[in-house]
């Protein structure tokens, strides 16, 4: 039983859709109609009317493409971070010639609003990057106020919502770019990243010099939005799967989906408390409804192995310096089912 915070277990209907006979996306008009419908479904799940892109490549491609498409030599970028993915954005900025200014908070804490206010007062940033759910620590950042402030300063906002989209409400209103991944709460196979793009973001993307093709978003504007053909052969089977996955979410109703995630997170945490496990985030209300990170200092890898060998349940550990100190349960997407969480926690109780 796959209980990791991505990839998540894929429902049968989605696997079946992936095995469908394929169409030629460059020739068959029905495919264009299908693709337009797919974009609409994504907009519903995102809760936005902004342009929607689906790129062939997982979440990381969305992160890199956002930077590659908008950052030029010497551009200043505010990288707001309380985790590995937040820090990682700064590496992309450097790689593409920009100047990152990392504003960091401890990994188990909230982002520092005062620090952000000061930073934007004293400097001239073209873009700001941030993470909605830091999957490696299970922290869900509150972004509304931060995004509002950044937009009031005409700063382009880029948000990684890879492990929250489709599992918790995402405040997309003030996001110029919002990135999702097929393998997390959508419970579709790994292989696609979804990116919403605002008008402000398009002006920056189309203004600059285009120094790459596959990682640049400009070809999508010129080819797909203006001419209705794809810059490269699309991942047809993955798109069929994503379509079926989104259909399941929409049929269930997003409010019900969000509540299912909250319920699963609560029962995971209360069972954890019974076993004596402590949450990694400093406060319970910082924990994302999509993933729970328990502290297991120096033992996480051993417990992960035992869970796999003795119970056939796959969990994740922490990442980087916290690899052996955090055990993560991904109750997101199709993993957010009370029976799966209960089974996982029964096994974990025995294991611990
Ligand atoms: C917050 C976050 N961003 C980006 C990614 C990258 O996604 P992928 O590894 O699927 O490319 C992940 C994957 O775990 C993630 O958790």
Question: How many domains would you assign to the chain?
Answer: 2
Asked if 84 and 106 touch (Cβ cutoff 8 Å), the reply is no
Residues 195 and 306 in one domain: no
The residue to mutate among 84, 181, 215, having the most atoms of ligand 1 within 8 angstroms of its beta carbon, is: 181
pLDDT computed for residue 112 by the predictor: 87
β-bridge pairing 99-104 and 76-81: parallel
Residues 282 and 197 in one domain: no
Output the CA 60–ligand 1 centroid distance in Å.
6
Residue identified by tokens 């600059």 is 208
pLDDT computed for residue 123 by the predictor: 87
β-bridge pairing 326-330 and 156-160: unpaired
pLDDT computed for residue 348 by the predictor: 98
Residues 115 and 237 in one domain: yes
- CA-CA distance, 42 to 46, in Å (whole number)? 6
Looking at the domain assignment, is residue 186 inside a domain?
Answer: yes
Residues 236 and 292 in one domain: no
Output the CA 58–ligand 1 centroid distance in Å.
8
Cα radius of gyration rounded to whole Å, the chain: 20
165 DSSP 8-state letter: B
Residues 108 and 242 in one domain: yes
Q: Which atom of ligand 1 is nearest to the CA of 57?
A: 11
Phi/psi at 110 (nearest 5 deg)? Answer: -80, 165
pLDDT computed for residue 190 by the predictor: 98
Q: Which domain holds residue 184?
A: 12-250
Output the CA 137–ligand 1 centroid distance in Å.
13
Atom 2 of ligand 1 has which residue's CA nearest to it?
162
Residues 240 and 275 in one domain: no
Phi/psi class of residue 18: alpha, beta or left (left: φ > 0; alpha: ψ in -120 to 50)? alpha
Q: What is the CATH number of the domain that holds 275?
A: 3.90.1150.10
Q: Which atom of ligand 1 is nearest to the CA of 7?
A: 10
Pocket of ligand 1, beta carbon within 6 A: 6, 58-60, 85, 131, 135, 160, 162-163, 181, 183, 190
Atom 5 of ligand 1 has which residue's CA nearest to it?
59
Output the CA 59–ligand 1 centroid distance in Å.
5
Output the CA 122–ligand 1 centroid distance in Å.
31
Domain boundary among 187, 217, 250: 250
Atom 3 of ligand 1 has which residue's CA nearest to it?
162
Residues 210 and 90 in one domain: yes
Q: What is the CATH number of the domain that holds 229?
A: 3.40.640.10
Looking at the domain assignment, is residue 3 inside a domain?
Answer: no
Output the CA 286–ligand 1 centroid distance in Å.
19
Residue identified by tokens 């035992």 is 306
- Alpha carbon separation from 182 to 64, 149, 185, 227, 282 (Å, rounded): 16, 30, 7, 26, 29
Looking at the domain assignment, is residue 20 inside a domain?
Answer: yes
Spatial neighbors of 260 by CB under 8 A, at least 6 apart, are 252, 336, 337
Q: Which of 13, 39, 2 is nearest to 244 (CA)?
A: 13
Output the CA 269–ligand 1 centroid distance in Å.
23
- CA-CA distance, 330 to 75, in Å (whole number)? 36
Q: Which atom of ligand 1 is nearest to the CA of 181?
A: 10
Atom 8 of ligand 1 has which residue's CA nearest to it?
59
Residue identified by tokens 């399941």 is 248
- CA-CA distance, 55 to 50, in Å (whole number)? 16
The β-bridge partners of 134 are 139
Domain boundary among 230, 250, 270: 250
The angle formed by the CA atoms of residues 209, 131 and 225, to the nearest 5 degrees, is 40
Residues 194 and 316 in one domain: no
Output the CA 227–ligand 1 centroid distance in Å.
31
Provide the 3-class DSSP secondary structure of residue 236: helix
Residues 174 and 317 in one domain: no
324 DSSP 8-state letter: T
Q: Which atom of ligand 1 is nearest to the CA of 133?
A: 1
Output the CA 189–ligand 1 centroid distance in Å.
13
Asked if 57 and 193 touch (Cβ cutoff 8 Å), the reply is yes
pLDDT computed for residue 270 by the predictor: 97
Residues 313 and 173 in one domain: no
Residue identified by tokens 């299908």 is 34
pTM: 0.98
pLDDT tens digits, the chain, 352 residues: what are they? Answer: 999 999 999 999 999 999 999 999 999 999 999 999 999 999 999 999 999 999 999 999 999 999 999 999 999 999 999 999 999 999 999 999 999 999 999 999 999 899 999 999 988 999 999 999 999 999 999 999 999 999 999 999 999 999 999 999 999 999 999 999 999 999 999 999 999 999 999 999 999 999 999 999 999 999 999 999 999 999 999 999 999 999 999 999 999 999 999 999 999 999 999 999 999 999 999 999 999 999 999 999 999 999 999 999 999 999 999 999 999 999 999 999 999 999 999 999 999 9
Spatial neighbors of 340 by CB under 8 A, at least 6 apart, are 1, 3, 9, 331
The β-bridge partners of 56 are 192
Please measure the distance between the N-terminal and C-terminal CA atoms of the chain and give it in whole angstroms. Answer: 18
């Amino acid at each position: 039983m796959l209980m990791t915070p991505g990839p998540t277990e894929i429902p049968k209907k989605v696997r079946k859709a992936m095995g469908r006979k394929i169409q030629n996306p460059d020739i068959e008009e029905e495919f264009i109609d299908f693709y337009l419908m797919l974009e609409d479904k994504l907009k519903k799940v995102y809760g936005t009317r902004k342009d929607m892109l689906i790129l062939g490549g997982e979440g990381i491609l969305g992160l890199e493409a956002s930077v590659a498409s908008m950052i030029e030599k010497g551009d200043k970028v505010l990288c707001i971070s309380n985790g590995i993915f937040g820090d990682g954005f700064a590496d992309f900025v450097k790689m593409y010639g920009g100047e990152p200014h990392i504003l960091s908070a401890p990994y188990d804490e909230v982002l520092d609003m005062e620090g952000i206010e000061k930073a934007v007062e004293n400097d001239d940033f073209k873009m700001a990057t941030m993470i909605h759910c830091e999957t490696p620590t299970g922290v869900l950042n509150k972004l509304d106020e931060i995004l509002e402030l950044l937009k009031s300063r005409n700063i382009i906002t880029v948000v990684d919502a890879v492990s929250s989209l489709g599992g918790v409400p995402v405040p997309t209103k003030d996001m110029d770019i919002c990135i999702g991944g097929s393998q997390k709460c959508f419970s579709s196979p790994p292989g696609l990243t979804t990116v919403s793009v605002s008008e402000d973001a398009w002006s920056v993307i189309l203004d600059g010099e285009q120094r790459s093709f596959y990682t640049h978003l400009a070809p999508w504007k010129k080819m797909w939005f203006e001419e209705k053909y794809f810059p490269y052969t699309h991942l047809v089977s993955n798109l069929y799967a994503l379509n079926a996955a989104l259909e399941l979410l929409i049929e269930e109703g997003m409010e019900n989906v969000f509540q299912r995630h909250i319920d699963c997170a609560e029962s995971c945490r209360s069972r954890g408390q019974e076993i004596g496990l402590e949450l990694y985030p400093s406060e319970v209300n910082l924990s994302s409804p999509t993933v729970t990170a328990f502290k297991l200092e120096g033992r996480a890898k051993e417990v992960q192995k035992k869970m796999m060998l003795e119970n056939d349940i796959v969990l994740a550990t922490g990442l980087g310096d916290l690899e052996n100190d955090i055990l993560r349960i991904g109750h997101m997407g199709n993993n957010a089912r009370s029976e799966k969480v209960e089974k996982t926690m029964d096994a974990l109780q025995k294991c611990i």
